[in-house]
């Protein structure tokens, strides 16, 4: 990952200089699916890095946790050259792998932009001998052309900044089963944007082939595709024989209601298919797997929030039972052969969609999951939402779940890969926000942020559902450096963008 801290000097809080710094930082962070933190310092530049300045403690803490710093300030309030030198004197020995200098001319003209940039050249040459860098100069009067300016800068900066992570592993060749599905497709996007070579294995039984093209539109790189069913051992053997470094395993059936009605299908696909995959991986020497598990392995939780130490089951439905069996197979495999590196990600309720609106959750038929049901009702594709149960022991009587944005979830998979590449054995993490929201809370949030009405009626409880569950995600934050960034409003907004753009 490439984590970026944007340090903004002398800004108007949340103003143009901050927006420029965040735009630059986002580009750098995306190279390694990293995170961006922003610090706005209103004090004069000459004091920004003075050890006596009380604000210095926060800057020092944030910089210490970053790979790259983006330093931005309006040029009219202080010498940006002096500001940059002060920053370098204070922080270049603290483990930074790169610095991006962003002087911003407020109210200037294109002609004026040349002088400060010329003043910076000696500093940037000197800096280049210490850490990789690229400067970007933005004239504030051209804010409407910010992306165009950044595109020109990025063409020269990307290659240098790609090497700025101290933790980013070299690109890997990765097979993603179920990579055209909801969580799988978003993870493929993150893998491609991190520089990995990706092949999707999918039978397209519950996904669309057009997803692959849309992934290509988002990332500029179209992943390779192998069409196949994980229940077919020979097809799996041919697919895994491609010389992969790791496998991300998403291919599975995942509807609680369907699993109650068709349990044998779930055992065939989820359990037998996973054993087939592990057998093929073993034959071809692939020993690294990131597995898509589920909070359903915990059954009806005995206590909340749920930690990874919570015992399994009894499972509330066949879907959860198959996930338990798949995890037990992985645990037993790691115990028998210590060369395996296994990450099991027990995520809670994935919702939302990619912010581009190009990929999202698109189940065939009437959705079993809440969010696509809500969006289809809002779009007029379904007449009303059925809420299963309003007599649960929860504040408003409806079920409570830990909804997590699918982009956050996808990034968690990359963080898990980074971890297990350097650590053999079996590892499990919860991926959630740590906050439960009821069905009615989600519906009300959706209506508020989208302005759409979602008519609903209550229906009897659905077999296999539990009253409430939400995660304790602190282990993932502690060991993976992963934390969900999007709130419920973001999830609803992005899900609606996906639905309404189709």
Q: Which residues are catalytic?
A: 319
Strands (E), 16-127: 36-41, 68-74, 98-105
Q: Please state, in angstroms and rounded to a whole number, the distance separating the CA atoms of residues 121 and 119.
A: 6
Q: Which of 136, 143, 53, 48 is nearest to 99 (CA)?
A: 136
Q: Please state, in angstroms and rounded to a whole number, the distance separating the CA atoms of residues 6 and 34.
A: 13
Rounded alpha-carbon distances, angstroms, from residue 20 to 8, 27, 68, 280, 386: 10, 11, 16, 48, 44
Close Cβ partners of 259 (under 8 Å, ≥ 6 residues apart): 253, 265, 266, 317, 318, 319, 322, 464
Tell me if 347 sits within 8 A of 293, measured CB to CB. yes
Rounded to an integer, what is the distance from CA 353 to the centroid of its chain?
Answer: 11
Omega before 453 cis (within 30°)? no
DSSP state of 248: E
**Token code pair at residue 338:** 């210590």
* 3-state DSSP assignment of residue 428: strand
Close Cβ partners of 387 (under 8 Å, ≥ 6 residues apart): 398, 439, 440, 443, 456, 457, 458, 459
Close Cβ partners of 348 (under 8 Å, ≥ 6 residues apart): 295, 401, 402, 403, 404, 430, 431, 432, 433, 469, 470, 471
Q: Please state, in angstroms and rounded to a whole number, the distance separating the CA atoms of residues 413 and 427.
A: 12
Rounded alpha-carbon distances, angstroms, from residue 107 to 19, 20, 78: 15, 14, 15
Q: Are strands 400-401 and 437-438 parallel, antiparallel or unpaired?
A: antiparallel
């Amino acid at each position: 990952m490439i984590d970026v801290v944007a340090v903004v000097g002398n800004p108007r809080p949340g103003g143009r200089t901050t927006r420029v710094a965040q735009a630059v930082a986002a580009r750098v962070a995306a190279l390694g699916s990293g995170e961006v933190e922003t610090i706005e310092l209103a004090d004069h530049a000459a004091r920004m890095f003075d050890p006596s300045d009380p604000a210095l403690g926060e800057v020092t803490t944030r910089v210490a946790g970053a790979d790259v710093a983006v330093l931005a300030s309006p040029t009219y309030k202080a010498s940006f050259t002096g500001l940059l030198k002060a920053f370098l004197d204070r922080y270049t020995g603290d483990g930074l792998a790169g610095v991006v200098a962003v002087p911003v001319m407020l109210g200037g003209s294109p002609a004026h932009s040349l002088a400060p940039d010329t003043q910076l050249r000696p500093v940037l040459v000197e800096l280049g001998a210490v850490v990789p860098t690229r400067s970007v100069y933005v004239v504030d009067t051209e804010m409407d052309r910010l992306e165009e300016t950044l595109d020109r800068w990025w063409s020269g900066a990307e290659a240098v900044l790609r090497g700025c992570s101290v933790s980013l592993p070299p690109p890997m060749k990765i097979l993603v089963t179920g990579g055209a599905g909801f969580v799988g497709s978003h993870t493929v996007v993150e893998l491609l944007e991190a520089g990995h070579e990706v092949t999707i294995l999918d039978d397209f039984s519950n996904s669309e082939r057009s997803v692959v093209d849309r992934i290509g539109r988002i990332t500029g790189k179209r992943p390779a595709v192998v069409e196949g069913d994980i229940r077919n051992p020979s097809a799996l053997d041919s697919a895994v024989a491609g010389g992969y470094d790791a496998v991300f395993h998403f291919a599975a059936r995942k509807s609680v209601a369907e699993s109650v009605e068709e349990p044998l299908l779930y055992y065939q696909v989820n359990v037998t298919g996973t054993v087939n995959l592990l057998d093929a991986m073993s034959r071809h020497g692939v020993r690294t797997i990131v597995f898509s598990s589920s909070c359903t392995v915990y059954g009806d939780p005995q206590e909340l929030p749920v930690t990874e130490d919570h015992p399994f089951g009894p499972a509330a439905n066949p879907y959860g039972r198959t996930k338990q069996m798949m995890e037990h197979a992985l645990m037993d495999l790691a115990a028998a052969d210590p060369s395996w590196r296994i990450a099991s990600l027990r995520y809670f309720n994935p919702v939302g969609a990619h912010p581009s609106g190009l990929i999202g959750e698109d189940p065939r038929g009437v959705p079993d999951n809440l969010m696509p049901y809500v969006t289809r009702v809002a779009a007029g594709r379904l007449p009303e939402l059925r809420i299963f149960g309003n007599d649960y022991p929860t504040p408003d009587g409806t079920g409570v779940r830990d909804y997590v944005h699918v982009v956050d979830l996808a990034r968690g998979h990359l963080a898990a890969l980074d971890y297990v590449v350097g650590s053999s054995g079996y590892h499990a993490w919860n991926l959630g926000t740590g906050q439960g929201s009821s069905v009615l809370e989600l519906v009300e949030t959706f209506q508020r942020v989208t302005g759409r009405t979602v008519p609903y009626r209550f229906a009897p409880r659905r077999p296999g559902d539990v009253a409430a569950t939400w995660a304790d995600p602190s282990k993932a934050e502690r060991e993976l450096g992963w934390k969900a960034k999007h709130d419920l409003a973001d999830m609803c907004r992005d899900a609606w963008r996906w639905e309404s753009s189709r």
